[in-house]
Amino acid sequence: MPTKHKIQAQVQSLGKASITSPLTTCRFIDEKKSLTLPIPQELLDPGDPELEYIVCEEAGPRKFVYFDPPKTKCAIVTCGGLCPGINDVIRSIVMTCYHNYQIASVVGIRYGLQGLIPKYGHPLVELTPDFVSHIHEFGGTILGSSRGHQSPEEIVDSLERLNVNILFMIGGDGTMKAANAIYQEIKKRGLKLSVIGVPKTIDNDIYLVSQTFGFDTAVEKATESIRCAHTEAIGAPNGIGMVKLMGRESGFIAAQATLALKEVNFVLVPEVPFSIHGENGFLSHLARRIKKRGHAVVVVAEGAGQDLFDDLGTDPSGNKKLGDICAVLRDEIKKYFTEQHLDYTLKFIDPSYIIRSVPANANDRVYCGFLGQHAVHAGMSGKTNMLVSKLQDRYVNLPIPLVTQKRRKLNPNSNYWSAVISSTGQPSSMV
């Protein structure tokens, strides 16, 4: 856990790995060596000013494995919202299990963790190389997904009945917390069952993870919508193009898409509060932009401006329900511009479900392939209660309790956010 300047990221193990690995053409990772990597300030929030380094273990194949491959059974489950690249990770895990380790069986759990609860009646899927060979060409997940809490006790009961040795869990922050709960139940029962996470969140908000898979694709697709909004804005007198992007608590998609396409004039994210009214409020700056340039493009992360709403409770996964900030902004723009006797045309674009449902692009496909491979290497070597990730261009194994301490958020004091402000020309503060 964090010390003054350094994080010690110690990964749990089921025991000594003593079976010679069947891999022959690879570089084995030395278990005795650790990586000391600098932590970029962009990965930290203002509450972590003294963290400078993380000491962790490199991901990859080990010379000795814990599980005997011909007797090993693996299971894969996908949870939470959709994200580009899930099928690529599934395919990579299955191909690595069969072609590299010659394991006995890989089964797919249908519709998230519900698939391990008997009352739901979801059948298992036998995942073979033939079955998964073309799934990377499609968006979504061939296993389906679900949200909501499921009993760790019932889940582990099912895993025992199925004789599963390694459980691969693909999901976001909530899924990783569930993985930790499952691990704790497994540990309490004294079972030799590995739990390996692959972080999946389109919002890119996993703490200490440089970039989650699907994010690159999401930004690429988001820029298409922003370009359309700009075309609409310049195509009418005093045109305003507004684009709503995903980002419940972290505005990385909105910020990165803004940097990628220089047509954005205002970007609103959850981490940076703003006022709608007042001399320095959003409406005042928007009106000045319209009077000066005759058009404007506004990008809004879905979690921006939530301080303007009352508490709306939580969803089945425990996530805070969000108020519709774009609906509020559109209403307030209408009132304000009418009062100012300023004609305008506003076009609103919400590409959220299109963005999260498309197949992964080339960069994400490569990334997903490595994540799947390293997940299998970790599971076969007996690692548990950990996830595979990429940090500073190095693939690493990180303990799940460490990365679920908090969500990664955009740092408003970072050079990254400064670059976003510079790109848009908006004021650094609108409060």
Whole-angstrom CA distances from 332 to 70, 226, 275 are: 64, 21, 12
Which residues, in sequence order, are CB contacts of 343 under 8 Å at separation 6+? 237, 238, 337
Coil, strand or helix at 158: helix
d(CA 203, CA 200): 9
Which residue intervals of 205-319 are DSSP H helices? 215-234, 252-260, 282-293
- 384-396 in b/e form (b: 16+ CB < 10 A) is bbbbbbbbeeebb
Query: Which SS3 state, helix, strand or coil, does residue 413 take?
Result: coil
Mapping DSSP to helix (H, G, I), strand (E, B) and coil, where does residue 86 land?
A: helix
Contact 133, 166 (CB under 8 A): no
Q: What's the rounded Cα separation, in Å, for the pair 313 and 318? A: 9
Residues in Cβ contact with 292 at an 8 Å cutoff, skipping those fewer than 6 apart: none
Q: Which residues contact 293 (CB under 8 A, 6 or more apart)?
A: none
Query: Looking at 45, 203, 205, 364, which residue is catalytic?
Result: 203
- Strand, coil or helix: what is 424? helix
3-state secondary structure of 108: strand
Q: Which amino acid is at 421?
A: I
CA distances to 40, 171, 239, 287, 378 from 244, rounded to whole Å, are 28, 23, 17, 20, 38
Note if 311 is an active site residue.
Answer: no
Which sequence positions are flagged as catalytic? 203
